[in-house]
């Protein structure tokens, strides 16, 4: 389904990734973008420019994935849905039951509303957290699902629900296993990517950042613009009933991340190392890019250094993002 001329619902559209996606949908010519969000991790401050566009609408202010009536109204007349809303990893660890309710029951409710209102296609934001630590690298989509946390468990369930709705009702979908998405508008709640903002904050205050463990923990960092572009490609793709890693295929250690940020900011403050105590977190993750490239031509374009420059510009208020 082409973006131009079609109507889309974005759950979590006031959040970090969602708000960037709203911007891109408008650029691509969507005729309507409806935002469904409870503002737990975002707000209208992320949508300052988008809300000036008459094609954008906030659905009833704070919206609830557990409210079936709201979801059925929100999906009326919608061609496609980008389902980004979920309870984050940290909150799922603190309150597993709430994670199950929002991430699993909320997804069930949304998919049910999509079927009732004949929505053509759903893009489901899953997570690389479903994999756990890498058994091999790069991790492809056939990697074992060995999550260590409740968030990952809810995303596995979300993918299974999408698959069940596809086979029973013919609801087209793609599930995206995002690696670590970073960029302007990110907050402090992302267990893995929050370290970027924390390091920047510390260096701005000429304070030594803390690195837990030895800094060798390594991840695949994807700039938010690339992540949103992948969602557009997926919505426009003819592929269905598939899952994809959204990744760069490049691995960066926490220590090298710190060094790159320090170099960009012109700071020379050694970090403080402390023991890591959370054994539910992964320490090694890099995604294979082959399937997404082959099936709908997605390749990350923004280098880590360029992306970090944009985040720093945004954080310190320099011209740019």
What would the pLDDT profile of 284-317 be if each residue is shown by its tens digit?
A: 999 999 999 999 999 999 999 999 999 999 998 7
Average pLDDT over every residue of 170-190: 94
**Which residues, at least 6 apart from 48, have a Cβ–Cβ distance to it below 8 Å?**
none
pLDDT-derived band at 116 (thresholds 50, 70, 90) equals very high
**Which residues, at least 6 apart from 216, have a Cβ–Cβ distance to it below 8 Å?**
253, 254, 255, 283
151 among known catalytic residues:
yes
Q: Where are the domains of the chain?
A: 7-182+223-247+287-300
- Cα separation of the two ends of the chain: 29
| CA 75/CA 254 separation, integer angstroms | 41
The dihedral through the CA atoms of 184, 188, 192, 198 has a sign that is: positive
CATH of 7-182+223-247+287-300, one of 3.40.250.10, 3.40.50.720, 3.40.50.1370, 2.130.10.10: 3.40.50.720
Average pLDDT over every residue of 223-227: 98
Instruction: Give strand pairing partners of 252.
Output: 219
Instruction: Give strand pairing partners of 272.
Output: 210
Marked catalytic residue, from 45, 131, 136, 151 = 151
Is residue 143 within 8 A of residue 184, CB to CB? The reply is no
Output 37-40 pairs: Cβ under 8 A, ≥24 positions apart: 37/11, 37/12, 37/13, 37/62, 37/63, 37/85, 38/62, 38/63, 38/64, 38/65, 38/85, 39/14, 40/87
Consecutive H or E run containing 27: helix 16-27
pLDDT-derived band at 321 (thresholds 50, 70, 90) equals very low
| CA 259/CA 270 separation, integer angstroms | 9
């Amino acid at each position: 389904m082409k973006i131009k001329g079609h109507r889309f619902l974005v759950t979590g559209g006031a959040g970090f990734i969602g708000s960037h996606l709203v911007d891109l949908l408008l650029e691509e010519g969507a005729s309507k973008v409806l935002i469904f969000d409870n503002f737990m991790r975002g707000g209208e401050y992320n949508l300052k420019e988008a809300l000036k566009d008459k094609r954008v609408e906030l659905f009833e202010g704070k919206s609830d994935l557990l409210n079936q009536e709201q979801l059925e109204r929100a999906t009326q007349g919608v061609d496609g849905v980008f389902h980004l809303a979920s309870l984050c990893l940290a909150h799922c660890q603190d309150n597993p039951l709430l994670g199950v309710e929002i991430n699993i029951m909320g997804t069930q409710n949304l998919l049910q509303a999509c079927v009732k209102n004949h929505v053509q296609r759903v893009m489901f934001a899953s997570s690389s957290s479903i994999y756990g630590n890498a058994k091999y690298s790069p991790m492809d989509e056939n990697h074992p699902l060995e999550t260590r946390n409740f968030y990952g468990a809810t995303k596995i369930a979300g993918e299974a629900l999408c698959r069940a709705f596809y086979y029973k009702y013919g609801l087209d979908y793609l599930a995206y296993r995002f690696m670590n998405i970073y960029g302007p508008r990110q907050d402090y709640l992302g267990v893995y990517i929050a370290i970027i903002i924390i390091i920047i904050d510390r260096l701005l205050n000429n304070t030594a950042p803390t690195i837990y463990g030895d800094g060798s923990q390594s991840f695949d960092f994807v700039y938010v613009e690339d992540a949103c572009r992948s969602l557009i490609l997926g919505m426009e793709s003819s592929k269905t009933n598939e899952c994809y890693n959204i990744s760069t295929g490049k691995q960066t250690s926490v220590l090298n991340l710190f060094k790159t940020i320090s170099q960009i900011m012109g700071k020379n403050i050694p970090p403080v190392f402390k023991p890591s105590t959370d054994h539910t977190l992964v320490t090694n993750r890099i995604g294979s890019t082959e399937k997404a490239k082959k099936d709908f031509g997605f390749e990350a374009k923004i280098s880590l250094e360029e992306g970090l420059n944009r985040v720093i510009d945004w954080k310190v208020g320099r011209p740019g993002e």
